[in-house]
Amino acid sequence: MHSTVPFRAVILLLLTARLTFAWGTLGHETVAWIAQSYVSETTESTVKSILGSTRSDYMANVSTWADSYRYTSSGRWSAPLHYIDANDSPPSSCSVDYSRDCGEAGCSVSAIVNYTSILLDNTSGQALKNDAMKFIIHFIGDIHQPLHDEALDVGGNTINVTYDGEATNLHHIWDTEIVEQLANGAGAQEFAKNLSSAIRAGDYGWDVDSWLNGVSLNDTLSTGTGWASEANAYVCSDVLHAGVDAVEEGGDLSGTYYQAHYDVARVQIARAGYRLGAWLNLIITGRTDG
Ligand SMILES: *[C@@H]1O[C@H](CO)[C@@H](O)[C@H](O)[C@H]1NC(C)=O
Ligand SMILES: *[C@@H]1O[C@H](CO)[C@@H](O)[C@H](O)[C@H]1NC(C)=O
Ligand SMILES: *[C@@H]1O[C@H](CO)[C@@H](O)[C@H](O)[C@H]1NC(C)=O
Ligand SMILES: *[C@@H]1O[C@H](CO)[C@@H](O)[C@H](O)[C@H]1NC(C)=O
Ligand SMILES: *[C@@H]1O[C@H](CO)[C@@H](O)[C@H](O)[C@H]1NC(C)=O
Ligand SMILES: *[C@@H]1O[C@H](CO)[C@@H](O)[C@H](O)[C@H]1NC(C)=O
Ligand SMILES: [Zn+2]
């Protein structure tokens, strides 16, 4: 009888460790590591100089800064920049309309436009460029997460679901649990290596050349809106394919639901990393390949 107490304490400890692991960190750091493998030497040294970093994980290291900043009192203004609230009607109709969906306080698309132009402006101060770089590294990740491009139920934050036995919400599992299940215990750097190899090999039917279609500094607004629209389309085709009730009442989502939709998380992380690398190359050298 006495032995059950320490046993339960150990279980609790393990559960706590599992629950606090990551928090969206794995996705952002993986995107950053993929991008690091696609930037040229010139881009790498310029990004390091803007960040004031000599670290080997110079991009991964700052990839979640924006998520900490938004929860500080001086950074609260930046919270709307992490998403664009598409006012569409999933699963029957998905769409992003910049003038309808980007609020007065800004959104992920306006943020990518703004911080790209700050990085392109040779009169921008060092501190401003440093923030702009950290925001770009983060927001190009966020914009590829389908539920960061959806207004319904606060981007799925109020859709209660169960995942691997835990009560959580739909937004959270797309930020974190699905990504962790996909990585299968690998850390961000290792997971990024796997995805970068898959990108180079054209695995999973990925048409990598098309990932840079329409990507241009001439029209950063349509580039950003294109990325948001592409991710938002997955809300109808996958994330909420069978409607809200189906995910709320359909049982644990780590089984059949994960199997049916994990390929969306995989391709979106790969695209985000590949595009972030190309975008930084464009800003710094004028060429997507560096
Ligand atoms: C980033 O690097 C700094 C030191 O340069 C370190 O203190 C910090 O813990 C690192 N953060 C992450 C998220 O890797
Ligand atoms: C661009 O970013 C700067 C620095 O964060 C901010 O002060 C400014 O209001 C932003 N402009 C727009 C149009 O979003
Ligand atoms: C900024 O770029 C413009 C051309 O785009 C150039 O004329 C100017 O000298 C540059 N200024 C600095 C401080 O490098
Ligand atoms: C979702 O769960 C929260 C508590 O975790 C609860 O407050 C809320 O009422 C639930 N929402 C619905 C729609 O069941
Ligand atoms: C990536 O990981 C998956 C799952 O573990 C594996 O099936 C695949 O072969 C790996 N791909 C590469 C290119 O390493
Ligand atoms: C961007 O504009 C420049 C100058 O007008 C043009 O030469 C270039 O082809 C354009 N690039 C794209 C990708 O549209
Ligand atoms: Zn974010």
Whether 175 is in a domain gets the answer yes
Q: Cβ(161)–Cβ(173) under 8 Å?
A: yes
Residue 4 clears pLDDT 50, i.e. is over it: no
- Scanning the structure block, which residue is given the tokens 């500080």? 72
Q: What is the pLDDT of residues 79-90, one digit of tens each?
A: 999 999 999 999
CA 210-262-201 angle, to 5 degrees, is: 40
45 lines ligand 6 (CB under 6 A): no
- Scanning the structure block, which residue is given the tokens 């928090």? 23
| pTM metric for this prediction | 0.91
Whether 1 is in a domain gets the answer no
When pLDDT is averaged across residues 97-125 and rounded to a whole number, the result is 98
Q: Cβ(270)–Cβ(199) under 8 Å?
A: yes
Number of domains in the chain: 1
Whichever domain contains 276, its CATH number is 1.10.575.10
Q: Assign residue 96 a region (left: φ > 0; alpha: ψ between -120 and 50; beta: otherwise).
A: beta
Whether 93 is in a domain gets the answer yes
Domain that holds residue 240: 7-285
Pocket test for ligand 5, best of 180, 181, 194, 269 (most atoms within 8 A of CB): 194
Enumerate the active-site residues.
23, 28, 67, 70, 82, 138, 142, 148, 171, 175
Q: Cβ(227)–Cβ(143) under 8 Å?
A: yes
What's the mean per-residue pLDDT of the chain? 93
Cα(160) to centroid(ligand 4), Å: 6
Hey, whose CA ends up nearest to atom 12 of ligand 2? 114
Ligand 6 atom closest to the CA of 215, numbered from 1: 13
Give the pLDDT of residue 3.
Answer: 38
Whether 117 is in a domain gets the answer yes
Whether 290 is in a domain gets the answer no
Whether 2 is in a domain gets the answer no
Q: What is the pLDDT of residues 18-66, one digit of tens each?
A: 333 334 899 999 999 999 999 999 999 999 999 999 999 999 999 999 9
Whether 127 is in a domain gets the answer yes
Q: What is the pLDDT of residues 180-210, one digit of tens each?
A: 999 999 999 999 999 999 999 999 999 999 9
Beta strands per DSSP E along the chain: 160-163, 166-169
How many Å apart are CA 26 and CA 229, to the nearest integer?
24
CA 238-243-244 angle, to 5 degrees, is: 110
